[in-house]
Structure 1
Amino acid sequence: METIMHFVSEAYNTMLTRELFINEWAQERLSFGKPLWSFFSVQLAPNNMYNFFIPLSGIFSQEILLHLLSAITLISTLNSFEKWICPETRPLWFLREQFANKKVTKNPKVALESHQLSCETTGGLPCAHSMTFTVFVLILASFFFVRCWDRFVSWRSPFCRCIMYMLIMGTVVCMWLSRLYLATEFLHQCILGSYFGIRALNTFEGNVRYLFSRTRGHAVSVVCFLGGLALSVYFIKLQLNVDPHWSVREAFKWCPEPAYLRHEACPIFALARDLGNLMGLALASPIYKLEVKQSSFWRRCRFLGILEFVNYGMRLSTVKQSGRFAFLAYEFTRNAVHALLLIKYLPTFY
């Protein structure tokens, strides 16, 4: 058994070492697109999905907003739990550890540049950016294509479908290149992130009627159970002498400037954010009974703009200096209220 574990460990380290050259190639060959890669990693991050892009989609259709918020919240929660239970190393952490480990006889001949955006504090697998962005693009593309299919006969040709598939794949690959260029993820973490997102979305679509028909009490109980599960993982790791904050300590250890690290990027915050959004969905359950009103574009734009302006002010007022519990409780509550208002109460004013 020990021999097998040693073999698996060696194979895994060899794979990561070879993937480091892909990150190095991306930084050397793709530097011309630095503004684009920064845009993908910053503006299209999971936090901005919740605070900007999903509400923005509600201007065009409440149905799209509801579908996006439900699917991305569930899939992001799955991502956060995976990183909380079993975080994987990132390229810069792995490279620095290899050079710091005196037992390693051959250090990889790789040089990676560290950026401000490289200072992530969660595990690398699966890539949250790739996972949520892939789901976001697929849902938007499906709604857009179905609407065009119904209105325009020319969109029913195989050529138009091929163009749509190429656009989807192209934008997802740009997200992968962004993460590789910034050395925040290995290639396999990006690919598996998109793959897990697609598989999770397929499961969500296949069970959407069941999920949307759950009663409020049942849905709230599930969210409370998930919160208890997250706490259980924390204490189980302590009992097994496993550091629950390993990824945060790695980020502090190898980030060139500790000021680059953000509270909002830590794994506990991601769990509080996702469970908060889930609680908002649970309090609005059963979701299939929610009223979808038809109203003017500008009316929806005004009300959603007011809500997001208030939400932006609340995000700036996050209590970061009052202790971890207050910080997490505030963010959990803010996200729960934001999600609840978006899908249940705000549409009543349309």
Structure 2
Amino acid sequence: MEAIKHLAEEAYNLTLNRELFINEWAQERLSFAEPLWRFLSVNLEPNNLYNFFIPLSVIFSHEILMHLLSAVTLVTTLNSFEKWIYQEMRPLWFLREQFANEKLSVKPQVALESHQLSCETSGGLPCAHSMTFTVFVLILASYFFVHCWDRLVSWRSPVYRFLMYPLIVGVVVCMWLSRLYLATEFLHQCILGSYFGIRALNFFEANIKYLYSRSRGYAVSIVCFLGGLALVVYFMKLSLDMDPHWSVRQAFKWCPEPTYMRHEASPIFQIVRDLGNLMGLALASPLYTLEMKQSTFWRRCRVLGILEFVNYGLRISTPKQYGRFVFLAWEFFRNAFHSLVLLKYVTKFY
């Protein structure tokens, strides 16, 4: 058994060492598009999808909003729990651990540049950016294609469907390259992130009628169960002498400037954020009964603008000076409030 374990560790370390060259290649050859890579990683991260891009979809259709918010929340929750249970190395952590390991006689022949965005505080597998962005793009592309198919006869040609797939793949690969360039993820973490996102989306689509028909009490109990599960994982790690905050300590250990690190990137914050969004969905359940009220474009813009102005005020007013519990409780209720109002009450002001 020990021999198998040792062989698996050797194969794993060899794979990560090989993948470091991919990150190095990205930084050397793709620096000409650095503004694009930064835009993708900063503006299209999961938090910004929740606070800007997903709410923006309500201007066009409440159905798109409900689909996006439900699917993306499912995917980010899965991602958060995967990272909470198993926290994998990131490229810069692994590279610096290799150089700091005195037992290694041969050091990696790789040099990676550290960026401000490289100071992530959660595990690397699966890549949250790739996972959520893949789902977000697939849902938007499907709605756009169906909309054009129904209204434009020329779009019913199979040529447009054929062209849509490489376009989607190209956009997702750009997100991968962004994460590789910033040395925040290994290639396998990006690929598996998109794969897990697609599988989770397939599960959601296959069971959408069942999920939308769940009662409020049932949905709230599921969210409470998931919260309890997160606590069970925390105390199990403590009992097994595993550090639940290992990834945060790695970030503090290897980040060149501690002020680069953000509370919003920590694994415990991500779980609380996702449970808050899930609670908003649960309180709005059953989702199939929600009113799809029509209104003018400008009226929808005004109502959404007021809501997002309030949400922005709540975000910048987050009390970070009163301890972790107050901070997390505030974020949980803010996200629950934001999701609930978006789904259930926005249409009442149309």
Q: Does 1:48 pair with 2:69?
A: no
Matches within 5 A, 1:279-294: 279-294=279-294
Query: 2:104 matched to which residue of 1?
Result: 104
Distance 1:58 1:93 in 2: 40
Distance 1:273 1:263 in 2: 12
- 1:256 partner SS: coil
Gaps of 5+ in 2: none
Query: 2:259 matched to which residue of 1?
Result: 259
The amino acid across from 1:111 in the alignment is: A
Query: 1:131 matched to which residue of 2?
Result: 131
User: How far apart are 1:39 and its partner, in Å?
Assistant: 0.3
Q: Does 1:186 pair with 2:186?
A: yes
Distance 2:253 2:159 in 1: 51
The amino acid across from 1:189 in the alignment is: Q
User: How far apart are 1:105 and its partner, in Å?
Assistant: 2.1
**TM-score with structure 1 setting the length:** 0.99
Distance 1:154 1:102 in 2: 65
- 1:111 partner SS: coil
Deviations along 1:165-210, whole A, 9 cap, x unmatched?
Answer: 1111111010000000000000000000000000000000000000
Gaps of 5+ in 1: none
Q: Does 1:92 pair with 2:85?
A: no
Distance 2:106 2:225 in 1: 46
User: How far apart are 1:164 and its partner, in Å?
Assistant: 1.0
RMSD of Structure 2 on Structure 1 (CA)? 0.5
Matches within 5 A, 1:1-350: 1-350=1-350
Distance 2:67 2:198 in 1: 15
User: After alignment, is 89-98 or 157-166 more displaced?
Assistant: 157-166
Distance 2:232 2:321 in 1: 26
The amino acid across from 1:232 in the alignment is: V
Deviations along 1:72-108, whole A, 9 cap, x unmatched?
Answer: 0011000000000001100000000000011112111
- 1:137 partner SS: helix
The amino acid across from 1:103 in the alignment is: K
User: How far apart are 1:10 and its partner, in Å?
Assistant: 0.2
**TM-score with structure 2 setting the length:** 0.99
- 2:320 partner SS: coil
Which 4+ residue blocks in structure 1 deviate beyond 3 angstroms? none
Percent of aligned positions that are identical = 77
Distance 1:23 1:55 in 2: 34
